[in-house]
Amino acid sequence: MKKWGMDSYLYAPKDDYKHRAYWRDLYTVEEAEHLTGLITAARECGITFYYALSPGLDITYSSVKEVSALKRKLEQVSQFGCVAFALLFDDIEPEMSEADKEVFQSFAHAQVSVTNDIFQHLGQPKFLLCPTQYCATRAMPNVSSSEYLNTLGSKLAQEIDIMWTGPKVISRLLTVESVEEITEVLRRPPVIWDNLHANDYDQKRVFLGPYSGRSPDLIPKLRGVLTNPNCEYGANFIAIHTLAQWSRCNVDGKRDLSLNDTVSADIKLETETEDGLLGEDVPSTLSPNMYHPRHALKNAINDWLPEFNKKKAAWGVIAKPQPAVAPTIPIPILPSINTCMSLTTTTNTTVVAAPSATVTTVPTSNHLQALAEVCSNVTDSFAQPLPGPVMNSLVSDTKVISEAVIPPQIANAGGSTEPMDCNTTPTNSPAHTIKSPADDDAMVENASTGSGTSASMQVEITDGTSPTINGNHQMIVENDSENHENNDNLECDLGDIKDGDKRLTVEDLSLLCDLFYLPFEHGGQGIQLLQEFNWLKSNAHILVKKDTAQEQINKAD
C-alpha cells in the first residue's frame, strides 16, 4: 500500500464479531495481541490505521451506560496504539427507541451527539463517520432537502470526515456536480467510500477491471477515497493498483487528450488493443499526470504478473475430506448468510477498506415458506457434514474456532444476523453439499497448479488398492519406499511445465480481467466473446437448414 502511495487502512471486518454484533465486548488478551500487531505493522509502514466500530444495530443513544461502553471499547483499542477511529451507522433502521425520542429531536441529532462526545473524549483524533443516509438514493427526500444530512453538516464537528458512496450504493459514475452537491449539504468535502469493486453482495462474481468512472477532476474536491474491493484478498491487485495510479493524476485521459504535453491534439488513437481486439480508443502514450482506465489496467497487469511466479505460503484451514452419503434427491438452493437474501449489507474486511453496502431483492414470504418446506423434506435424506469452522481474525491467521465456541447468537445467526454477514457458511448451505467426482478432480487440479508451492497428502494404502478420497483417485500419493523414483520423475515433469509454456502471460491476465471486469460493464475481450456467441446463436438455424438440405441431396443420390 505504501509503495503505491496509499496512506490509510480502515479496519471493519465481519469475522471480528466484536466489531458490530457484539460491539460492547472488550477484546481478550489473545485478540488484543493480534490487533496490536496489525496496528503496529501499519504504523511501521507509514499507514494510518482506522479502527471502526458499528454500534447502530442496538445502541440506545440516550443511555449513559451505552455511551460509556462505547468509550470503554475505543479506549481499549487506543491503548493498542490506534490513533484514528470511525463510527459506522450504515444499514440500520432509521428509527429511534422510545427512550431516545424523549431526549433527541431526530435520529441525526442522536448520532451527532454520541459521535461528537466520543470524538472529544478520545482527544479529537482522526475520525470518520459513516451516515445512515450514505448515498443519494438513500437521502430522503433528496440530497439537498434531507433533514438528516443537513443536520449532520451543521451539527457534527468540522474535523470529523463523513463517508459517501455517491449517487448509489454502487455508483457507476461519480461526477463533479454530484460531489459539489453533497459538499454543500455536509459543509465539508466527503470521503468517497467506493464500492465499485465490492462483491460481498454477490460472491459468485469477482471484479478485476480498472478504477474507472471517476475523473481525476474529483481529487481536489474530496477529503479522500476508500476503496472497498473484493472479499478475496488476492483478487484486489488491479483494484488497488489502478486506484493508486488515479490518485496521482490530475487530467482525465479519456477526455482531455489535447492537454497531454507529450501527445499532439491530433493524436491518432489506437482502434485495437494489443491483443488485436477491437476496443475503446486508448492513447498509445500518456503523460504521467493523465489517467486512462485501460492504460492503468495495462500497467497494473504488468506489475501483477510477477506475483504469480513467486513462491508463497499456503494459508487457510487444511481439513481431511470427510466421508458423506450422496443425496438421493436434488438439493435445493438454501438461503445462507452469504446468499444476500436481505435489503442491506454491512461492513467488510478490505485493503484500504471501507464498509460495503448494496441493495438486493428480498424473497417473498410465500417463496421462503415453499423453500422451507422443501428444505424440511430433504434434511434427513443425506448425512449432515461436521460443523464448519468459524474464523476469528483477531485470534490468529490460521487458528480456527469451532462453531460451539462462538456465542449462541452468532452461531445461530443464519437467518437473523445482520445482513450480508460473511462468517462461515452454515452447514445447510450449498457450499456444504456433496460434490461430484468431476468437481473434486477439478479442485485438485486447481490446487496443484494455482499455487507457487506444492504439498502432497499422506494417504494410507491398504490391500494394494489405489487410495481414494470420497471415491475419487488422489493425484499424488506419498510412499517413500516404493515410489521415490517415480516421485522424482513427477517433480521433474512438473518443473518442466512450470518453466515451459504453462506460465501465465500478460495476455492471459488481460483476458481474465476482461472476462471479470466491473459490475456495469465487460472488458473488450469479454464483449467480443459475447458477440461471437450471439452470432453463433443467431446463425445456428442457417447451419441446420444447410445440413438438412444436404441430407436430402444425399438421399436422392
Residues with catalytic roles: 91
* 110 neighbors 63 (Cβ within 8 angstroms): no
The Cα–Cα gap between 109 and 223 comes to 23
What does the alpha-carbon distance between residue 231 and residue 420 come to, in Å, rounded to a whole number?
12
Evaluate the omega torsion of the peptide bond into residue 141 and state whether it is cis, within 30 degrees of 0: yes
Q: What are phi and psi of 290, to 5 degrees?
A: -110, 135
The closest alpha carbon to 118, from 71, 178, 64, 167, belongs to 71
Task: Tell the burial category of 294 from Cβ atoms under 10 Å away from its Cβ (0-12, 13-18, 19+).
Answer: buried
The pair phi, psi for residue 191, each rounded to 5°, is -95, 120
SS3 state of residue 391: strand
Instruction: Report whether 354 contacts 226 (CB < 8 A).
Output: yes
- Kind plus residue range of the DSSP H or E element containing 279: strand 278-282
- For residue 424, give every residue at least 6 positions away whose Cβ sits within 8 Å of its Cβ, in sequence order, or none: 388, 389, 390, 391, 403
C-alpha to C-alpha distances, 345 to 59, 374, 412, 419, nearest whole angstrom: 18, 27, 18, 5
CB neighbour burial string for 389-420, b if at least 16 within 10 angstroms, e if fewer: ebbbbbbeeeebeebeebeeebbebbeebbbb
Residues contacting 215, CB < 8 A, separation 6+:
175, 176, 252, 255
Q: Are 198 and 358 contacting, i.e. CB atoms less than 8 angstroms apart?
A: yes
Cα distances from 21 to residues 13, 145, 384, 423, in angstroms, run 12, 32, 28, 12
Residue type, 120: Q
Paired sense of beta strands 161-164 and 191-194, if any:
parallel
Q: Helix, strand, or coil here: 191?
A: strand
Instruction: Decide the pairing of beta strands 400-401 and 390-391.
Output: antiparallel
Residues near 12 by beta carbon (within 8 Å), at least 6 away in sequence? 19, 52, 54, 86, 88, 347, 348, 349, 353, 354, 355
